[in-house]
Structure 1
């Protein structure tokens, strides 16, 4: 049996020398310990081509000696690293935080590790991070895209398995897509606000001039024209202070809106704060609708009317399709998830002064 260098003892006196790390236990060490060939040890560790009792014998020796598989060697042998990139649009969005965490837990349960990164709602940064993750040889890249129409997705898909959440990617680049029925959700939200008497509606969106064709924002403009509404689009960050500042600016403008449709609940929290800082109350003066039903939304006063996406189903579908694409090289058909309305207390009739301004506004204007 090969003798291994013991680890440093806690509390040992300082010698002035840089501590030497104990040598890594190798498959050769396991072979000497078990009396097997290194090839047999390799097969046993992977559960291949050797009897179960041999596999057990090798695993017991590995545990006894503290053997850890070399991830680089394993990746070279299998062509897989065991790592999955999760590229989020913005982790200041509480819904994306929760979804990324759920994906990480679910992937870990499948023996894979998530590398979760944040594009900070910046299309250029998103392109850079996607390329870097592909360079790191992730087995797949799951993305909640800032710019689903960007040209770089096709190039990324040639280098790794690409899975999209929320929006489909341009050119059919993704190996699988689990997308949201934004047309149904936004159409329903605007109809709800129209039924309550609103004609001037501000849409808070993570998109901007660099991503003008995001599906959700496009749908909002189409529905506004169809219903003869005055809808304005306002780019907003997800963080509370940033979203509140945007809301205050919108409310201080000429002929301000009587209602807000927020493309994330985290933005709606900013509207609540901005409205109250402007001396307005929800829903007496301003109505607010969110769009993802984070649990915190039920704790607001009044609770936020919003739309729920089935996160558990979403995560299951994404991980199932990711594993299928990695292990079998198969593409999956697009799956569309429908929103479920969560009407609560944040929608009411327009306030008297604000309602009269809305009535005088020209119909169908959108910016």
Structure 2
């Protein structure tokens, strides 16, 4: 069927932001291009000049253009995009999305935005061309123009573990990060630790800030003054746990316990302790966050806060499928519960 066939034109008649209707042909006239050119832009075709594409996209956004649901058959795909793919953390998320996709007879398209918290335009163009059933963005987000592009094509999206505040109108699945940071620190306090360090993630990441805030709340509740010197910002990778851990453990009045912002940084902290001749937990207790499979097998097994990554990914996949089927969820934001898992890396402090 061609882009200008009657069936496609009827399906592409949306409600405009002003309350009227804007057809594909009307958008084309306003842009000074042909209707097939507008159709190419809608379908993510690459054979459109950048200036023309930008003009058409601006008009689609201005008129609130949105394809009528079901006017085009979505591909049986879920697009899953990470800001980076470097750890078993990502594998837990992939497993959850794959579980749902398998049940639904769908496939998963996996991509990475090379460390950017907002995917590039090349990724957006690929999504528009594939027309997936839905998009899941992990520790990422969309800028307003990208949101408008997906919305105009009736491609639903969900943000999993959002890097920043996604907004009240953006579907998002997260975890109780503040409660997890509180539980980790409270556990160490209950063991008798009073000088507790923390290695967070990047300062600009919402989950990292929430875990640090939970740490601070636990200290304040216990009547212990917050010491900025005991707080380090990492990047959720082994190397940061190692380098920031060395700095904390070399302090003249070093902490007797450290809450690492995730399990990978906890592993780096283990290495820093070994290099300095310190034993875990005899000389320094360590608590992580995530409860990745490796947490049970390192020595000593890691006390950590379990973040239900697979369940979060499953929830995100089900939510985006519901949105694609026109179902309205009871809430657009869901935070799954975290819980402390006690193992052998935490113990009461030794008397000095």
Please tell me the TM-score bracket, short chain as reference: 0.5 to 0.7
Aligned to 2:177: 182
CA spacing shift, 1:115–1:234, aligned 2, 3 Å: farther
Aligned to 2:96: 102
CA spacing shift, 1:99–1:229, aligned 2, 3 Å: farther
CA spacing shift, 1:157–1:72, aligned 2, 3 Å: closer
In the superposition, the TM-score normalised over structure 1's length comes to 0.64
CA spacing shift, 1:78–1:185, aligned 2, 3 Å: same
SS of corresponding position for 2:289: coil
Does residue 135 (structure 1) correspond to residue 134 (structure 2)? The answer is no
CA spacing shift, 1:186–1:345, aligned 2, 3 Å: same
The question of whether the paired residues in 2 share the 8 Å contact of 1:201 and 1:259 is answered with yes
Q: CA deviation at 1:132?
A: 4.1
CA spacing shift, 1:206–1:132, aligned 2, 3 Å: farther
Aligned to 1:284: 282
Aligned to 1:126: 117
Q: Following TM superposition, where does structure 1 have runs of at least 4 consecutive aligned residues deviating by more than 6 angstroms?
A: 210-213
Superposed CA deviations along residues 111-165 of structure 1, whole A, max 9, x for unmatched, are: 4333333456x5xx12244x5433322543312326x7xxx55544332422122
Superposed CA deviations along residues 34-62 of structure 1, whole A, max 9, x for unmatched, are: xxxxxxxxxxxxxxxxxxxxxxxxxxxxx
Aligned to 1:293: 291
Larger radius of gyration: 1
The question of whether the paired residues in 1 share the 8 Å contact of 2:92 and 2:309 is answered with no
Q: List alignment gaps of at least 5 residues for structure 1.
A: 1-70, 354-367
Superposed CA deviations along residues 211-269 of structure 1, whole A, max 9, x for unmatched, are: 79833333333443343244533222344344322211222234322211122111111
Aligned with residue 251 of structure 2, among 250, 253, 264 = 253
Q: List alignment gaps of at least 5 residues for structure 2.
A: 1-42, 46-69
CA spacing shift, 1:201–1:319, aligned 2, 3 Å: same
Does residue 336 (structure 1) correspond to residue 326 (structure 2)? The answer is no
In the superposition, the TM-score normalised over structure 2's length comes to 0.67
SS of corresponding position for 1:114: strand
Q: CA deviation at 1:279?
A: 0.8
Aligned to 1:202: 197
CA distance in 1, matches of 2:266, 2:112: 21
SS of corresponding position for 1:237: coil
CA spacing shift, 1:330–1:212, aligned 2, 3 Å: closer
